Amino acid sequence: MTAIVMTLGQGRTTDIPQELSRFQVNSNNPYVSFAAKTREASVLIYTSGKVVFQGTGASVLASQFGYQDILENSKAKSPAGQNLALIGSDEVGNGSYFGGLAVVASFVTPDEHAWLKKLGVDDSKNLNDIKIRQLAPVLEEKIPHKALLLSPQKYNQVVGKGKRHNAVSVKVALHNQAIYLLLQEVARPDKIVIDAFTSQKNYEKYVKAETNHFDNPLTFEEKAEGKYLAVAVSSIIARNLFLENLDKLSQETGFILPSGAGNKSDKVASQILATYGMSGLEHTAKLHFANTQKAQALLKK
């Protein structure tokens, strides 16, 4: 069966739920936020951001949402910077209501590229969680890196109205700290790449408030985890760290906490509210998300 994988945000994939709404079907998979089936193909959107087209008409359907354009531009995925010693930084958990925010910076040299490719290193959004959990321990052992996890409880203490950080500045702080700590332990890299989550101007504005600074120039690139192996390594380690935190919080509460911020998260949040009150959400979720209000509304029904 033909299968094509894209990432939510690539091409016109964000338009899929609206344009294929008449073909929507139910899915029992808790990690699927949207499912649709046409005569020739089906499409699944996972809470991780992965979009999978399957069936004999998968390529045709995917092309309607920009897949062909991505193929034609695939050469851009291997910039000249791959031949440099790189620090790549990425974060996971930013779009998930439950779980913490994980940021990882990794140092990769060109002589490690062949091994990493053979291992199957890729953007974490293109790998299932089983593969992530297999790869991460190997990468953690072999690749110099710094991993930071901001737990939901700590996140809620520092992010929000009237608090030290907003949702962007807290990521700036974590990326800056992870890179700073890694620079203390590795040779000076030829380049530092951050998977762009905000503009460079915005980043530089927020980083001024941080205690630790370094003089290495930074490069900000969108979808950098698909272009640079150093960023891909960071995305895998960060994803695994996020998943481990989600597992831990699930065990502590007795509820299976989903990733993402869809309807499933609203329902689980309302159950946690009913069982533990607001302190339960403070311990497991990012309170400034709209899911908090949705969960409270569900509880009142």
Q: Tell me the C-alpha distance between 2 and 58, whole Å.
A: 6
Q: What is the pLDDT of residue 74?
A: 44
Beta-strand ranges (E) seen in the chain are 3-7, 32-37, 42-46, 50-54, 86-92, 101-108, 145-150, 191-195, 219-221
Q: Predicted confidence band at 70 (pLDDT cuts at 50, 70, 90)? A: low
Range of lowest pLDDT (10-19, 102-111, 176-185, 189-198): 10-19
pLDDT digits (tens, 9 = 90+) for 234-269: 999 999 999 999 999 999 999 999 999 999 999 999
Q: What is the pLDDT of residue 77?
A: 45
Q: What is the pLDDT of residue 58?
A: 87
Q: Which domains does the chain have, with CATH numbers?
A: 3-74 (3.30.310.10), 83-247 (3.30.420.10), 253-300 (no CATH)
Closest listed residue to residue 147, CA positions, set 196, 88, 199: 88
pLDDT digits (tens, 9 = 90+) for 283-298: 999 999 999 999 999 9
Q: What is the DSSP letter of 10?
A: B
> Which one has a higher pLDDT value, 260 or 127?
260
Q: What is the pLDDT of residue 145?
A: 97
This prediction's pTM:
0.73
Whether 178 contacts 101, CB under 8 Å? no
Over residues 153-179, the mean pLDDT reads: 96
In the chain, the percentage of residues whose pLDDT exceeds 90 is 70
Q: What is the pLDDT of residue 72?
A: 53
Q: What are phi and psi of 42, to 5 degrees?
A: -125, 160
Q: What is the pLDDT of residue 149?
A: 98
Residue 63 confidence (pLDDT) above 90:
no
Closest listed residue to residue 69, CA positions, set 10, 14, 113: 10
Q: Predicted confidence band at 99 (pLDDT cuts at 50, 70, 90)? A: very high
Greatest distance between any 2 Cα atoms in the chain:
59
Query: Can you say whether the dihedral through the CA atoms of 260, 265, 269, 272 is positive or negative?
Result: negative
Over residues 38-50, the mean pLDDT reads: 91
Over residues 83-109, the mean pLDDT reads: 95
Whether 220 contacts 226, CB under 8 Å? no
Q: Tell me the C-alpha distance between 285 and 86, whole Å.
A: 33
Q: Predicted confidence band at 299 (pLDDT cuts at 50, 70, 90)? A: confident
Q: Backbone dihedral region of 240: left (phi > 0), alpha (psi from -120 to 50 degrees) or beta?
A: alpha
Tell me, what amino acid is at 137?
Answer: P
Q: What is the pLDDT of residue 202?
A: 95
